[in-house]
Amino acid sequence: MNNLKNSFREVLRYPSAIVGLTIIFLLVVTAVYAMIKIPYSEAIRLWRGGEDVWYQNPKFAPPAWINFFSSKKLPESFTVNSANGSMTKTVVPGAQNSSTINISYFFDFNYDTYPQEMLIYFKAKYNSKQPFVSIAWLTPDGRKIRIDDLGISADQTLWFSQDQRLQQRLNGAEPMQALFEDPKTNAIAKGKYQLQITGTTFEPGSDIDAQFVFQGQVYGLAGTDQARRDLMVPLLWGAPVALAFGLIASLGTLVLTMIIAAIGTWYGGWVDGLIQRITEINLVLPFLSILIMIGTFYSRSIWVILGVTVILSIFTGSIKSYRAIFLQVKESMYIEAARAYGASDFRIIFQYLIPRMIPLLIPGLVSSVPAFVFLEASLAVLGLGDPVLPTWGKIINDADANGALYKGYYYWILEPAALLMITGFGFAMLGFALDRIFNPRLRDI
Amino acid sequence: MAVATQSTPVEVKKPAASSTFVRVARYTVVRLFTLFVTVVIGIYLTILIANMGGHVDEIMRNDIRDRITQQFANNAAAQKLSPDTRKQLIERSITLEENRVGLNQPVAVRNFKFLTDALTLNLGRAINMTSDSGSKEVRLIILGRLPATLLLMGTSELFLFFVSVFLALSLSRSYGSWWDKLVITLSPTSAVPPWFYGIFFILIFAALLHVLPFGGMTDSPPPSNPVDFALNVLKHLILPAASLIISSFFLSIYNWRTFFLIYSSEDYVEMAKAKGLPARDIEQRYILRPTLPTIITNFALTLIGVISGAIITETVFLWPGLGRTLYQAIGLYDTPVIVGSTIIYAYLLAITVFLLDFVYALVDPRVKVGGN
């Protein structure tokens, strides 16, 4: 215990170890936060969801903070709903069971480009007589543009850009342009806009609610992808997946390698020989090709890939170096003593041989995590990522498939790439420091 | 690239009992035999995985049925035939195609045939892939892609090897200096694989600055003038080679430097220093000489790495090399191509491992071939 405390104190002498520990700590916090904020089933639902989940978001939208770094301000997305009071709604009862419903929303528009799209989702309650709405658009310079007049069913959607009647009324101009442009200067009119919805219902108990979705050019903290998905979900969930894959693969490989090496050296003879031969055969096998084949032909589940990775990583060069150390340990006095009092083989291997190696295991454990994290990302980039789980590699793969680099959606690649890189560096920095601490040969150099 | 420690038995010389010739001959035979068995098992496992116990056959059968039915559906002449005749024709075409691919034989027989063909380097014909000149010979497909891989991997791996060994030597002389600390600080950068740096390089130099191409090996169409062609290839080579180099550069220097430092703290080096030998002599005779086997091992493994190519980096840069071919072959279920590239790698590895034992004996007088 004291030994461990000393080691920890020594770790803090290395600046790179402190940076590495901080990064790993932040990653763990992110992973825990992600799992609490978005439970697993919810994350899968969001990640696999289509338009029905993500209709409110623009496509290919960079994160909103991009406006800080650019003189050209891009419109931010928002959604307001009369049902939850974010749009003002007044009901004026009229004659013969009818009533007039006024829904309106004011918003400031001080941006330099047009939004992607605007939508209104109507929800109407009625028995037989459909309510009727007319929608108007008020610009900062005082013009009033009639958008559309229509009878609405229980669920009705109005896409501004796809409204034929609106386009005709605007003389064939793009609605997004025409609605935000000052006709005199042909520049974007900045200022306060108002959306006015005037509805009429013809039955007692009939009601209208409207949701106004403004799809700007930027969205949230992380942006969106080709399917309008908020990239925050896979960015957050990538952390637990990457940590789990990296740590389980690294721990599984090292512990199994160590046990097999200990058993081999303890029993010697044909057991040892067999392990050596398997190691040589494994050297001939093409590691990445086999993983790609498993992914292509058999299963893309992250757990299958994890298992195969561990199995293929056990019988490598490290089993030989462990064997060399175990051969020395096997001759020590305390093993002799254990044998003399009649300890079983099992007891000697697991209680005497392996515990001696744990200090040597720690640096290797930490240092090999990045390789496994990037292995998962590599497979995802080749299109062999887990089809269900949101991971950082999957984001890069999606971005790559949609030509993000050619079309300039840099945020899409840079965000997951930065996280992957930070994770890799964090573990590598700590691993290097640990290696120098636990490996006395390296301590002074 | 990590510095591999020597794995073959290094034995201290004992008084020779049997004659050298018998010892070397016996060793050669036993070693060749074990290596051959290793290669056979390794290749057989690869073939098994490439077939997935008949799972891939099912995919291929459906694929063929689908393709041929589609062909007949698109064929105007076939539309005029009576439904029965057409059905018969389709079935016959499917059987013919299945026979051509070899699906009529049981998996075990096919696996065995693959194995014997592969071991005799009779690589056979690909199922779906073709070489750039249109041939289905696996040999031609591999040979056609080899130059691209040799160019990319050769440039980067050889540069990496020699530059890092030389820099490491000079760093080990001035250890603790600013440069030494810089290399130690930057060595965690190698936690990131080459394709990852590749994406960043594409972003910076191709997408933002427009100074270098996104990928590929030449412009399309390639320049006809040989000098322009060479310059064009060079321009396309810069980014992939740079990403392969940068991702191993600092770790490689760090590993070699540490390795040399361990050897330069040996007593005999201290002794030489105390005797007042010039630094250059100490380096050549007392540090480089005993580390030579490790340097040679790493060089040999580097050379094998050059031939096997880099699957993901080549895919990211659309570089028409062996790594990308292998990836395409897996996507097309093309077992002959997968097995072909694996057997070449396995043979090269086995031969290298075998030859290294003799090289050790040549460069290190303490090592005897087959000595126990």
Model confidence over B180-217: pLDDT tens digits? 888 888 888 888 889 889 988 988 898 888 888 888 88
B interface mutation test: which of A24, A280, A384, A439 has the most B CBs within 10 A?
Answer: A280
Provide mean pLDDT across the span A62-73. 83
Q: Which residue has the tokens 């270098």?
A: B212
Q: Comparing B47-61, B102-116, B299-313, which segment has the lowest mean pLDDT? A: B47-61
Of residues B168, B153, B152, B155, the one with CA closest to residue B294? B168
**Beta carbons within 8 Å of A337's beta carbon, 6+ residues apart:** none
Of residues B167, B318, B312, B169, the one with CA closest to residue B249? B167
Confidence grade of residue B83 (pLDDT, cut at 50, 70, 90)? confident
Q: Is the pTM of this model over 0.90?
A: no
CA–CA separation, A227 and B176 (whole Å): 53
Provide mean pLDDT across the span B17-45. 84
* pLDDT tens by residue, A140-198: 888 888 888 888 888 888 888 888 888 888 887 788 888 888 878 888 888 888 888 88
Residue B1 pLDDT greater than 50, yes or no: no
* pLDDT tens by residue, A264-279: 988 888 898 899 889 8
Is residue B27 within 8 A of residue B369, CB to CB? The reply is yes
Is residue A46 within 8 A of residue A53, CB to CB? The reply is yes
Instruction: Determine the angle formed by the axes of helices A369-381 and B194-201, rounding to 10 degrees.
Output: 60
For residue B244, what pLDDT is reported? 92
* pLDDT tens by residue, A320-340: 888 888 888 888 888 888 888
Q: Do B214 and A296 touch (CB under 8 A)?
A: no
B125 three-class SS: strand
Two structure tokens written together for B56: 């891939």
For residue B6, what pLDDT is reported? 45
Provide mean pLDDT across the span B82-88. 83
Per-chain mean pLDDT for chain B: 82
Alpha-carbon gap: B89 to the closest alpha carbon of chain A (Å): 30
Residue B271 pLDDT greater than 60, yes or no: yes
Q: Comparing A40-44, B55-59, B254-258, which segment has the lowest mean pLDDT? A: B55-59
Is residue A166 within 8 A of residue A91, CB to CB? The reply is no
* pLDDT tens by residue, A81-92: 888 878 888 888
Of residues B57, B40, B37, the one with CA closest to residue B112? B40
For residue B53, what pLDDT is reported? 61
Residue A138 pLDDT greater than 50, yes or no: yes
Residue B2 pLDDT greater than 50, yes or no: no
Q: Which residue has the tokens 């460069």?
A: B363
For residue A445, what pLDDT is reported? 54
Q: Comparing A360-364, B6-10, B26-30, B313-317, which segment has the lowest mean pLDDT? A: B6-10
Confidence grade of residue A1 (pLDDT, cut at 50, 70, 90)? low
* pLDDT tens by residue, A71-111: 888 888 888 888 887 888 888 888 778 888 888 888 888 88
CA–CA separation, B186 and B177 (whole Å): 14
Residue B359 pLDDT greater than 90, yes or no: no
The C-alpha torsion from A53 through A57 and A59 to A60, rounded to 10°, is -110
- E strands, chain B, are none
Two structure tokens written together for A334: 């305390």
- Cα angle: B89, vertex B91, B94; to 5 degrees: 110
Distances (CA, A) of B165 to A201, A432, B256, B280, B289: 83, 20, 6, 16, 14
* Cβ contacts of B308 on chain A, cutoff 8 Å: 286
For residue B15, what pLDDT is reported? 52
Is the C-alpha dihedral spanning B116, B122, B125, B131 positive or negative?
Answer: positive
Q: Output b/e per residue, B50-63; b: 16+ Cβ within 10 A.
A: bbbeeebbeebeee
Distance of CA B267 to the CA centre of its chain: 39
For residue A253, what pLDDT is reported? 92
* Cβ contacts of A425 on chain B, cutoff 8 Å: 188-189, 191-192
Q: Comparing A172-186, A294-308, B32-46, which segment has the lowest mean pLDDT? A: A172-186
Confidence grade of residue A435 (pLDDT, cut at 50, 70, 90)? confident
Is residue B138 within 8 A of residue B337, CB to CB? The reply is yes
Nearest-CB residue to A408 (from B191, B207, B214): B207
B294 touches chain A (CB under 8 A): no
B265 three-class SS: coil
Q: Do A405 and B206 touch (CB under 8 A)?
A: yes
B269 touches chain A (CB under 8 A): no
Residues 84-143 of B with CB under 8 A from A: none
For residue B112, what pLDDT is reported? 82
ipTM of the complex: 0.79
* Cβ contacts of B264 on chain A, cutoff 8 Å: none
Confidence grade of residue A2 (pLDDT, cut at 50, 70, 90)? low
Measured from the Cβ of residue A73, the count of other Cβ atoms closer than 10 Å reads: 16
For residue B4, what pLDDT is reported? 45
For residue A28, what pLDDT is reported? 94
* pLDDT tens by residue, A207-254: 888 888 888 888 888 888 888 888 888 899 989 999 999 999 999 999
Residues 145-184 of B with CB under 8 A from A: 175, 184
* Cβ contacts of B185 on chain A, cutoff 8 Å: 16
Measured from the Cβ of residue A316, the count of other Cβ atoms closer than 10 Å reads: 15
CA–CA separation, A145 and A168 (whole Å): 13
Q: Comparing A113-122, A251-260, A339-348, A353-362, which segment has the lowest mean pLDDT? A: A353-362
Is residue A234 within 8 A of residue A395, CB to CB? The reply is yes
Of residues B368, B242, B348, B244, the one with CA closest to residue B300? B348
Provide mean pLDDT across the span B245-255. 90
Task: Calculate what percentage of chain B has a pLDDT beyond 70.
Answer: 93
Task: Calculate what percentage of chain A has a pLDDT beyond 70.
Answer: 98
For residue A440, what pLDDT is reported? 65
Selected residue with higher pLDDT from B17 and A424: A424
Nearest-CB residue to A292 (from B262, B330, B349): B330
CA–CA separation, B119 and B343 (whole Å): 7
Two structure tokens written together for A41: 């089933």
B89 three-class SS: helix
Q: Do A284 and B42 touch (CB under 8 A)?
A: yes
Confidence grade of residue B243 (pLDDT, cut at 50, 70, 90)? very high
For residue B345, what pLDDT is reported? 84
In this structure, what are the phi and psi dihedrals at residue B341, rounded to the nearest 5 degrees? -75, -30
CA–CA separation, B138 and B91 (whole Å): 28
Two structure tokens written together for B282: 């100490």
Is residue A242 within 8 A of residue A423, CB to CB? The reply is yes
CA–CA separation, A390 and A441 (whole Å): 42
CA–CA separation, A210 and B91 (whole Å): 59
